[in-house]
Amino acid sequence: MTLPIQNYALLSDEECDDLIIAAKQKLGDRCIILGHHYQRDEVFKHADITGDSLKLSREAAQSAAEYIVFCGVHFMAEVADILSRPEQIAILPDMAAGCSMADMANKVNVEKCWQQLAEIIDVENTVTPVTYINSAADLKSFCGKHEGIVCTSSNARKILEWSFSRREKVLFFPDQHLGRTTGYLMGIPLEEMVVWDFDKPQGGLTVEQIQNAKIILWKGFCSVHQVFKAQHIDDFLVRYPETIVVSHPEACFEVCQKSDYIGSTETILKIVREGEPNTRWLVATELNLVNRLHEECKKDGKNVHFMSPTLCMCSTMFRTDPQHLAWVLENLVAGNVVNQIKVNEEDAKLAKKSLDNMLSVV
């Protein structure tokens, strides 16, 4: 009999902690809990492995675990399912934990874009579709079908170089900011990177703009990383001119331009951790990660600051709480699998092709 979530909703975090710890002990190596860097501390502390989404999925697939409990968001659990062995089961504690950026590009709109581009240019021979890993499985499948590829925030440049070695243009979705900043750092002029607005006919672009574009950027973004503004950097440097600025490439172009370093979550952690003692850092990425980094680095005299004066965390990531984690684990102890994430066979096959393309490059 499946244990209902209602039994856990009114439990305190402390009560759930006890249940989670007990369930983990009973399950042992049969279960592995993955914690993304943006996850809230109350859940993050229970993770067996922490990191970014691709790293977590790859490590889980190499583990002996039967159950992969992904404390993150929906697309991450999909990747875990695609990369894991057939006998492994991927689970998302709260099915409502999605990603607003991933939702900005769906298969219907991307296929419509592809068809409209085909009326102007020879898409199959001139355009490589590239999807950020922060996307649904069916978009990774779309890329696999059209000889495309997946990228992460840490390998986007290598992936674009691979793409341009094969075809002259790239369709990059769903995050325009990662695509723009990466392209610019490769020497591609801003005017050769156009934004496809999926709500407008022909993406709101002229035939000439499409023909001249090197990168066609999807009109998508991470709402968390859009809270950071160039003015925040300017204002902070007035008070603390010695500050080192580091930003995630999902931040807007102007913020990245004013940053000393640009990098993925793992890169940000590495740069700050390896920085000189008694230094000050201004960081543009999710609040939970920055807060943990601040606490970790205090012993070295480092001051790590969240860039925006307005506190903002990933609200969908925040949905995964100790109550849902306890519910999932206690059901596993009772022999019940709840909230399994299973990508259909056809999408999984093509999505794995695009993921394998990426892994072969990096």
Q: Do 171 and 187 share a domain, yes or no?
A: yes
Half-sphere exposure of 214 (CA within 13 A, CB side): 18
Number of helices and strands (H, E) in the chain? 18, 14
- Segment-wise mean pLDDT, segments of 10 residues, the chain, 362 residues: 93 98 98 95 97 94 97 96 97 95 96 98 98 98 98 97 98 98 98 97 98 98 95 98 98 98 96 98 96 96 95 78 98 98 98 98 92
User: Strand, coil or helix: what is 341?
Assistant: strand
H helices within 186-258, ranges in order?
207-212, 230-239, 253-257
Q: Which domain holds residue 281?
A: 225-306
The domain boundary residue, chosen from 282, 306, 330: 306
Looking at the fold, whether 81 and 120 belong to one and the same domain comes out as: no
Q: Give the global pTM.
A: 0.95
Predicted confidence at residue 318, as pLDDT, reads 81
Task: Give how far the C-alpha of residue 233 lies from the chain's centroid of Cα atoms, to the nearest Å.
Answer: 24
Same domain? For 322 and 218 the reply is no
Same domain, 203 and 256: no
Whichever domain contains 29, its CATH number is 3.40.50.10800
Q: Find how far residue 222's CA is from the centre of its chain.
A: 9
The reply to whether 92 and 120 lie within a common domain is no
Domain-embedded: residue 355: no
Counting every residue written for the chain, the total comes to 362
Is the residue at 274 inside a domain? yes
107 and 183 together in one domain: yes
Answer yes or no: is 185 within a domain: yes
pLDDT at 316: 77
Same domain assignment for residues 280 and 241: yes
Query: In b/e form, how buried is each residue of 99-114, taking b as 16+ CB within 10 angstroms?
Result: bbbbebbbeebbeebb
Q: Do residues 219 and 231 share a domain?
A: no
Degrees to nearest 5, angle at CA 199 with 205 and 134? 100
**Residue 1's pLDDT is what?**
82
Q: Considering only CA atoms, which of 250, 215, 225, 222 is closest in space to residue 310?
A: 225
Q: Do 216 and 265 belong together in one domain?
A: no
Nearest to 326 by CA among 4, 63, 98: 4
In a domain, 350, yes or no: no
Asked if residue 174 has a cis previous peptide bond (ω within 30° of 0), the answer is: yes
C-alpha to C-alpha distance for 285 and 250, rounded to whole angstroms: 8
Q: Are 300 and 277 in contact (CB under 8 A)?
A: yes
Note whether 216 and 115 are same-domain residues: yes
Look at residues 223, 242, 275 and tell me which one is the last residue of a structural domain. Answer: 223
Question: How confident is the model at residue 244, as a pLDDT?
Answer: 98
**Any domain includes 311:** no
Please tell me the total count of domains within the chain. Answer: 3
Per-residue model confidence (pLDDT) at position 310: 81
Residue 120 belongs to some domain of the structure: yes
- Residues 104 and 84: their CA atoms lie apart, in Å, by 26
Give domain status of residue 242, yes or no: yes
> 280 and 232 share a domain?
yes
Q: Which helix (H) or strand (E) holds 34?
A: strand 31-36
Within a domain: 322: yes
- Specify the pLDDT at position 302: 98
Residues 74 and 151 in one domain: no
What's the confidence (pLDDT) of residue 91?
A: 98
Two structure tokens written together for 218: 């999807």
Instruction: End-to-end CA distance of the chain: give it in Å, rounded.
Output: 45
